[in-house]
Amino acid sequence: MEDPDNSMLTCQVAIVGAGPGGIYSALRLVDTGTVAASDICIFEMTGRVGGRIMSLRGLGPDQDLVVDVGAYRSWPEYTPITHALITQYLGLPVHCYDPGDVPCEKFNIATEEGSERKAGFATFVEVMMTRLVDAGARWFPYHELLAVAQSSAASDKQLTFSNGAQAVASQLVLNLPQKPLLKVLRASTLPTGALDTSSGVFASLHTVAASSPWPSFATSLCLLPRLPATRFALRRSRRSRPRAPPSA
């Protein structure tokens, strides 16, 4: 982790928001060889990764209880991408969320293969982040984005944070919930057409579905000059077809 001073930071790709969508986007950029890990800066207003996922560990009299606040399980029928990311791409062990389900339909992340102990759903985001930092990505916790300034579509973007830090990035991913995203955009100075994805200048990069079958992890708005073509999708299981969520 980095503890930078208030000097200007320079990044090829700046990712704001260390929730699953932002961290996954960064990992795929690195894994596909599109961007070097050392050219990626990840900014987060809190001191942790996970966004709307938070795993509280070490609870209970034996300090072995894990409680997930927010998203807490994968459900291949409704979240095939998330489940494939956890089990196939990251290779994390899982166990059945409800032992009474035969066959099992919903899954927890386990501490190890064959174990019934729950590791916490934030584990998959933490594992992705560890891979990025180990590869050389730069991590800046406690950096709340206030505004983005850009003079023209071809120019770099200047980011201003609440702690006084500033950064310059060629490409920017804003992986933020809707209200914080709108707050940043209202305070920003962007060129005409910067948010017009039909113009071909900027393109949406990726959005990850939530563990819950209905809401998404976050609103992911990406202001990116087009990167070299790369496949971000994970293969959907043949048996997993979207369908209406079960009624309450």
CB 44 within 8 A of CB 207: no
Is 232 domain-assigned? no
* 43: Cα separation from own chain's centroid: 11
**Rounded mean pLDDT, 166-178:** 92
Counted domains in the chain: 2
Is 244 domain-assigned? no
**Rounded mean pLDDT, 132-140:** 98
Is 246 domain-assigned? no
Residues 115 and 216 in one domain: no
Round to whole Å and give the CA distance between 4 and 26: 20
Residues 80 and 198 in one domain: no
Residues 149 and 92 in one domain: no
Residues 199 and 150 in one domain: yes
Q: Indicate whether 6 pLDDT > 60.
A: no
How many alpha carbons lie under 13 Å from residue 177 in its C-beta half-sphere?
12
Out of 103, 124, 145, pick the residue that ends a domain.
124
Is 242 domain-assigned? no
Residues 118 and 132 in one domain: no
Is 230 domain-assigned? no
Residue 205 has a pLDDT of: 37
Residues 156 and 119 in one domain: no
Instruction: Tell me whether the omega of the peptide bond preceding residue 103 falls within 30 degrees of 0, making it cis.
Output: yes
Residues 74 and 193 in one domain: no
Residues 43 and 134 in one domain: yes
Residues 148 and 204 in one domain: yes
CB 10 within 8 A of CB 167: yes
206 burial via Cβ count (<10 Å: 0-12, 13-18, 19+): middle
Residues 198 and 134 in one domain: yes
Residues of the chain above pLDDT 90, percent: 64
What domain range includes position 105? 53-124
CATH number of residue 19's parent domain: 3.50.50.60
Out of 72, 101, 124, pick the residue that ends a domain.
124
Residue 200 has a pLDDT of: 42
Going by their DSSP bridges, the two strands 40-43 and 8-16 should be labelled as parallel
Residues 132 and 118 in one domain: no
Q: Indicate whether 176 pLDDT > 50.
A: yes
Is 211 domain-assigned? yes
Out of 124, 139, 161, pick the residue that ends a domain.
124
SS3 track for the chain: CCCCCCCEEEEEEEEECCCHHHHHHHHHHHHCCCCCHHHEEEECCCCCCCCCEEEEEEECCCCCEEEEEECCCECCCCCHHHHHHHHHHCCCCEEECCCCCCCCCCEEEECCCCCCCECCCCHHHHHHHHHHHHHCCEEECCCCEEEEECCCCCCCEEEEECCCCEEEEEEEEEEECHHHHHHHHHHCECCCCCCCHHHCCECCCCCCECCCCCCECCEEEEECECCCCCCCCCCCCCCCCCCCCCCC
Is 229 domain-assigned? no
**Rounded mean pLDDT, 45-59:** 94
Residues 140 and 184 in one domain: yes
Q: Indicate whether 243 pLDDT > 70.
A: no
Is 231 domain-assigned? no
Round to whole Å and give the CA distance between 201 and 178: 22
* Higher-pLDDT residue of 209, 34: 34
The CA radius of gyration of the chain, in Å to the nearest whole number, is 19
Question: Over the stretch 93-132, which tens digit does the pLDDT of each residue have?
Answer: 999 999 888 899 999 999 999 888 999 999 999 999 999 9
Q: Indicate whether 196 pLDDT > 90.
A: no
